[in-house]
């Protein structure tokens, strides 16, 4: 397991990752998450090895460690048992390659470096990779990830009005599509060629069915 150089406190990194990326070597489920301690965690380091008392320091996640090489738009939230502000969440982004977390070193003096073990908790955010996503509503979204177009198919009764909304990962509204289902249900082509790479949320609502799913644009 990688070692972490930072002020003396226990740090647990909370990461969200697609369920299809979690292998069978799971330790035990905790609150719908998985504790994984055998993956390559990448490089975590502080940019200031002699932090000022009461000042800020930064922990950096270096992208490309083998954990998220082809996945974008996931969140990393930091929690702890001591002095890290656990309310801050930052984003792992394949474009800039790093995720930053600022924390306060109250009461620390002339800290050069401390070693502390690192654990990661993984939970699904429901983004399948190169598989058809289905559930009890009998819907599929394929292909996903998508480069240009993906097809959303929903098995609903004919003549049902529906609304399909697309949001980015921050919740910003992007597009709305409205229609009426036919004898084959709903089959809608969604174009993502003009969108930037990342995670998008597709919300479907009809008289009888509603659900949200996620699309990975690459």
Please say if the pLDDT value at position 85 is more than 90: no
Task: Extract the tokens encoding 194.
Answer: 């003009």
- Strands (E) across 37-158 are located at 44-46, 56-62, 74-80, 89-92, 98-104, 115-123, 139-142, 149-154
Q: What is the pLDDT of residue 61?
A: 37
Q: What is the pLDDT of residue 1?
A: 37
Q: For 106-112, what is the mean pLDDT?
A: 41
What burial letters (b/e) apply to 5-22, b meaning 16+ CB within 10 Å?
ebbeeebbbbbbbbeebb
Q: What is the pLDDT of residue 199?
A: 87
Task: Extract the tokens encoding 212.
Answer: 């949200």
pTM confidence score: 0.41
Return the number of other C-beta atoms located less than 10 Å from residue 165's C-beta: 16
Q: Would you place residue 137 in the very low, low, confident or very high pLDDT band (cuts 50, 70, 90)?
A: low
Q: For 161-185, what is the mean pLDDT?
A: 89
Q: What is the pLDDT of residue 190?
A: 94
Please say if the pLDDT value at position 129 is more than 70: no
33-60 residue pLDDT tens: 222 222 223 333 333 333 334 444 333 3
Q: Would you place residue 151 in the very low, low, confident or very high pLDDT band (cuts 50, 70, 90)?
A: very high
Distances (CA, A) of 74 to 35, 135, 159, 169, 215: 17, 23, 37, 9, 12
The two most distant CA atoms of the chain are separated, in Å, by: 71
Domains of the chain are: 3-123 (no CATH), 139-217 (2.60.40.1930)
Q: Report the distance separating Cα 217 and Cα 58, nearest Å.
A: 29
Q: What is the pLDDT of residue 175?
A: 92
Task: Supply φ then ψ for residue 37, to 5 degrees.
Answer: -130, 20
């Amino acid at each position: 397991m990688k070692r972490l150089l930072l002020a003396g406190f226990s740090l647990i990194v909370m990461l969200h990752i697609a369920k299809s990326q979690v292998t069978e070597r799971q330790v035990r489920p905790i609150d719908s998450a998985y504790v994984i301690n055998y993956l390559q965690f990448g490089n975590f380091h502080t940019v200031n090895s002699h932090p000022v008392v009461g000042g800020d320091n930064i922990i950096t996640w270096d992208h490309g460690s083998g954990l998220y090489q082809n996945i974008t738009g996931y969140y990393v939230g930091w929690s702890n048992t001591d002095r890290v502000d656990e309310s801050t969440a930052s984003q792992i982004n394949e474009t800039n390659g790093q995720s930053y977390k600022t924390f306060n070193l109250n009461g620390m003096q002339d800290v050069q470096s401390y070693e502390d073990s690192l654990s990661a908790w993984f939970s699904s955010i429901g983004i399948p990779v190169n598989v058809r996503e289905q559930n009890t509503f009998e819907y599929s979204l394929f292909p996903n990830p998508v480069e240009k177009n993906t097809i959303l198919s929903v098995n609903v009764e004919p003549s049902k009005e529906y609304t399909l909304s697309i949001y980015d990962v921050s919740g910003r509204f992007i597009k709305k599509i409205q229609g009426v289902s036919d004898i084959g249900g709903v089959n809608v082509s969604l174009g993502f060629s003009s969108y930037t790479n990342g995670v998008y949320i597709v919300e479907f609502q009809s008289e009888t069915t509603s659900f949200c799913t996620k699309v990975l644009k690459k």
